[in-house]
Amino acid sequence: MIDYSVKNYSAEESLQRAKDYYQLIDQRRSVREFSDRPVAKEVIEQIILTASSAPSGAHKQPWTFVVVSNPEIKSKIRAAAEEEEHENYNGRMSEEWLEDLKIFGTDEHKPFLEIAPWIIVVFKKAYDLEDGVKKKNYYVNESVGLACGFLLAAIHNAGLASLTHTPSPLNFLQKILERPENERPFLLIPVGYPAADAKVPEIGRKGLGDMSVWM
Ligand code: IYR
């Protein structure tokens, strides 16, 4: 064991910091219109390091972030995603689901997959492979979900926009990105600056009374 030491804030400082962080994070929105303005690799590296600092089951860090900027690979991803989404929007999604999505104006067309300078594809690892030997990971979905939360917060903090895109099923990513058998695609996240004229739907967020219970 080693000492755990972080700054010891006063009660006032803690409240102010909690408020400031909420103000920052509350401005994050899922964005579907990206600028093609380049984003330096170094920025993305810091964001990935932040994501990988998330807690994980037995500290196995059961994730791989595949970070794509190559236009040919982005085009392949777009084509395959749009193929799946065509099926989703034309039969696989229920009427209720399509109705719930109306305010977001989504459809099967995903131009952002080629426009955004980066696509981060997060893979989860059910087990690690060390010299052909399987090493179990734990709470994999929880761990990778936490890492994705850290990732989105870090992206927003850098002034960038993201979309948690879900072209289900995601298995085409395994093939295109040539990932090994122990990795499964978890989330597909385009990252970049928002388009100058980007619009987002007008939505509210639940208040404390609607989403928390205190005892
Ligand atoms: N995967 C589709 C549909 C979709 C599903 C949910 I849940 C959303 O919040 C938004 C979209 C798509 O990305 O268009």
Does the beta carbon of 192 sit less than 6 angstroms from any atom of ligand 1?
no
Does the beta carbon of 70 sit less than 6 angstroms from any atom of ligand 1?
no
Per residue of the chain (215 residues), what is the pLDDT tens digit? 999 999 999 999 999 999 999 999 999 999 999 999 999 999 999 999 999 999 999 999 999 999 999 999 999 999 999 999 999 999 999 999 999 999 999 999 999 999 999 999 999 999 999 888 999 999 999 999 999 999 999 999 999 999 999 889 999 999 999 999 999 999 999 999 999 999 999 999 999 999 999 99
Counting Cβ atoms within 10 Å, is residue 27 exposed (0-12), middle (13-18) or buried (19+)? exposed
pLDDT of residue 97: 95
Does the beta carbon of 167 sit less than 6 angstroms from any atom of ligand 1?
yes
The answer to whether residues 140 and 125 touch, using CB atoms and an 8 Å cutoff, is yes
Nearest 10 degrees: Cα torsion 200, 203, 208, 211: -100
Strand partners, 64: 123
Atom of ligand 1 nearest to the CA of 165: 13
pLDDT digits (tens, 9 = 90+) for 28-41: 999 999 999 999 99
The alpha carbon of 104 and the centre of ligand 1 are apart by a number of angstroms equal to: 9
Q: What is the pTM of this model?
A: 0.96
Q: Which of 125, 87, 134 is nearest to 107 (CA)?
A: 87
Does the beta carbon of 101 sit less than 6 angstroms from any atom of ligand 1?
yes
Peptide bond into 169 cis (omega under 30): yes
The alpha carbon of 167 and the centre of ligand 1 are apart by a number of angstroms equal to: 7
Tokens 């236009």, located at residue:
71
Atom of ligand 1 nearest to the CA of 30: 9
Strand partners, 124: 63, 184
pLDDT of residue 175: 95
pLDDT of residue 81: 97
The answer to whether residues 124 and 62 touch, using CB atoms and an 8 Å cutoff, is yes
Extended strands (E) in the chain: 63-68, 118-125, 127-130, 133-136, 161-162, 183-192
pLDDT of residue 132: 87
Mean pLDDT of the chain: 97
